[in-house]
């Protein structure tokens, strides 16, 4: 088991181009956290990470993922984040399709509260989309991923960097003429509200020039089930002219948002301390934390009891067996009673038959392919864990590519691995355990 300072580190729960996110536990308090791990050389080369970390420490709001602290090891940087267990809002939309207006309203109210708070701090997110909106165990929204965010600068009125996800970008961001970060974020919020209520995007073209033309003209239509209040608000948000586009204070006063609106309870905290961030980026060696990893002797990693309990969401062990096959999240899993080497060799054979390039090491596999629209890489990572003697869990997660494409990939992969997937009868109706574990 790897240890970083006071944190016990477990399985990888997310992966990106420059970083991995791991499950971890504070050994002093027992609290669960998410640990974002980056190579020191990468961090020092991309100074934007410094700004991202500083911004995440500045924005402290109930509907924003909290950054607790930053630690430096000799080779790695560790960002300690709030562990949010409810998955992405994107997954909920993928599972249910459109959401009821009341549910959409709740998420939109929380999103607007969070974005309004960010703007009050001079922070513009610039990549708002359902994949970057997480849900906690109570179903409350948490804004995450400030990697493309910007801070307002004194004497500078407009931003100039074109960034974000094309379908959610405001027309002025595409114009390369400079844009107001607040108005651009509001446009993205409008697209998100439409997606919540429709189950699909207002602007969705494979051909980018056509997509950009429709965004610039605000050319979209409303499904029949949209209420008059919803259509009125979205029309004022998706106004291609940022100068006449509705402002956040007006959004909050709109009939759609006012209904059942409860202002979030939030007290301003003491001044944020950035000493740990400065120590990391100024490379103060006497503040390095120890980061030792135990050798696993060529066996699959053993998942400890604490991870099992957290993974099983309130001790309902049925979720380990991924029985809701129609609901495919960005990260999925299945269980097998086959030997670990047999599991990896079967997956490797199937992945190659699907056209993937396979890299395998220590019961961890990386499948590399090209996305269906040929615009970039599609990468999936699989890892085998031992959860009990002769019982293994295969964790599957998207590392790069489109999330909807991953949904299709996983269903296809799973159908080809039926021979190694264990489906015990108890997985369909296993009891929910209520006893609180002790450690």
CA angle 192, 413, 321 (to 5 degrees): 80
pLDDT average, residue stretch 275-300: 62
Give residue 362's pLDDT band: very low, low, confident or very high (50, 70, 90).
Answer: confident
- Helix/strand/coil for 332: strand
Comparison of pLDDT for 97 and 163, the residue scoring more: 97
Q: Which of 393, 414, 423 has its CA nearest to residue 350?
A: 414
Cβ neighbours for 425, distance < 8 A, ≥ 6 positions apart: none
d(CA 301, CA 293): 12
Q: Of the spans 14-18, 88-92, 158-162, which averages the highest pLDDT? A: 88-92
Comparison of pLDDT for 270 and 329, the residue scoring more: 270
pLDDT at position 377: 83
pLDDT average, residue stretch 178-186: 90
* Domains contained in the chain, CATH given: 2-83 (3.30.200.20), 89-258 (1.10.510.10), 301-425 (3.30.310.80)
pLDDT at position 70: 85
pLDDT at position 417: 92
Q: What are phi and psi of 180, to 5 degrees?
A: -85, 120
Comparison of pLDDT for 11 and 368, the residue scoring more: 368
pLDDT at position 119: 92
What's the pLDDT tens digit per position in 111-128?
Answer: 999 999 999 988 898 889
pLDDT at position 331: 55
pLDDT at position 155: 47
Structure tokens at 349: 């054979």
Q: Answer yes or no: is 2 a known binding residue.
A: no
Percentage above 70 pLDDT, the chain: 74
> Above 50 in pLDDT, residue 436?
no
pLDDT at position 299: 67
Give residue 63's pLDDT band: very low, low, confident or very high (50, 70, 90).
Answer: very high
Q: Of the spans 162-176, 228-242, 301-315, which averages the highest pLDDT? A: 228-242
Comparison of pLDDT for 206 and 198, the residue scoring more: 198
> Above 70 in pLDDT, residue 274?
no
Average pLDDT, the chain: 80
pLDDT at position 48: 54
What's the pLDDT tens digit per position in 21-46?
Answer: 888 989 888 888 989 888 877 766 66
> Above 60 in pLDDT, residue 58?
yes
Q: What is the pTM of this model?
A: 0.69
What's the pLDDT tens digit per position in 375-425?
Answer: 678 889 888 888 777 888 888 888 887 777 888 888 899 899 988 998 765
pLDDT at position 179: 84
Q: Which of 113, 127, 180, 291 is catalytic?
A: 127
Contact 357, 370 (CB under 8 A): no
Structure tokens at 114: 């969070």
Cβ neighbours for 149, distance < 8 A, ≥ 6 positions apart: 51, 52, 55, 118, 123, 124, 125, 126, 127
> Above 50 in pLDDT, residue 170?
yes
Comparison of pLDDT for 305 and 168, the residue scoring more: 168
Of 213-227, 285-299, 349-363, 396-410, give the lowest mean pLDDT range.
Answer: 285-299
> Above 70 in pLDDT, residue 55?
yes
Neighbours of 184 (CB within 10 A): 24
Is 326 annotated in the active site?
Answer: no
d(CA 109, CA 389): 47
pLDDT at position 249: 95
Comparison of pLDDT for 2 and 196, the residue scoring more: 196
pLDDT average, residue stretch 86-106: 87
């Amino acid at each position: 088991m790897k240890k970083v300072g006071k944190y016990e580190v477990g399985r990888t729960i997310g992966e990106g181009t420059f970083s991995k996110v791991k499950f971890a536990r504070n050994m002093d308090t027992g609290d669960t956290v998410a640990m974002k791990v980056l190579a020191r050389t990468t961090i020092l080369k991309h100074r934007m990470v410094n700004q991202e970390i500083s911004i995440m420490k500045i924005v402290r709001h109930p509907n924003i993922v909290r950054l607790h602290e930053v630690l430096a090891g000799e080779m790695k940087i560790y960002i300690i984040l709030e562990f949010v267990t409810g998955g992405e809002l994107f997954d909920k939309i993928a599972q249910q399709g459109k959401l009821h207006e009341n549910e959409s309203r709740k998420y939109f109210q929380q999103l607007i509260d969070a974005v309004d708070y960010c703007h009050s701090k001079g922070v513009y997110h610039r990549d708002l989309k359902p994949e970057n909106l997480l849900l906690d165990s109570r179903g409350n929204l948490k804004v995450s991923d400030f990697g493309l965010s910007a801070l307002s600068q004194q004497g500078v009125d407009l931003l100039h960097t074109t960034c974000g996800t094309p379908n959610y970008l405001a027309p002025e961001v595409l114009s390369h003429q400079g844009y107001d970060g607040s108005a651009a974020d509001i446009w993205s919020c409008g697209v998100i509200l439409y997606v919540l209520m429709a189950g699909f995007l207002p602007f969705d073209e494979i051909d980018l020039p056509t997509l950009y033309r429709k965004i610039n003209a605000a050319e979209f239509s409303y499904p029949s089930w949209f209420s008059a209040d919803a259509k009125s608000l979205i029309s004022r948000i998706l106004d291609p002219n940022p100068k006449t586009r509705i402002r956040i204070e007006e959004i909050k006063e709109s009939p759609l948002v006012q209904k059942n609106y409860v202002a979030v309870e939030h007290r301003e905290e003491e001044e944020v301390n950035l000493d740990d961030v400065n120590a990391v980026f100024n490379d103060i060696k006497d503040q390095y934390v120890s980061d030792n990893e135990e050798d696993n002797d060529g066996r699959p990693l053993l998942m400890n009891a604490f991870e099992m309990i957290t993974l099983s969401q309130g001790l309902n062990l049925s979720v380990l067996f991924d029985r809701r096959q129609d609901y495919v999240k960005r990260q999925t899993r299945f269980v097998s009673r086959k030997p670990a080497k047999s599991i990896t060799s079967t997956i490797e054979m199937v992945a190659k038959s699907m056209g993937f390039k396979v890299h395998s090491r220590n019961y961890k596999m990386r499948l590399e392919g090209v996305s269906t629209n040929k615009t970039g890489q599609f990468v999936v990572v699989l890892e085998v864990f031992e959860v009990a003697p002769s019982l293994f869990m295969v964790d599957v997660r998207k590392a790069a590519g489109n999330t909807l494409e991953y949904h299709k990939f996983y269903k296809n992969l799973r159908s080809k691995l039926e021979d190694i997937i264990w489906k015990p009868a108890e997985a369909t109706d296993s009891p929910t355990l209520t006893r609180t574990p002790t450690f």
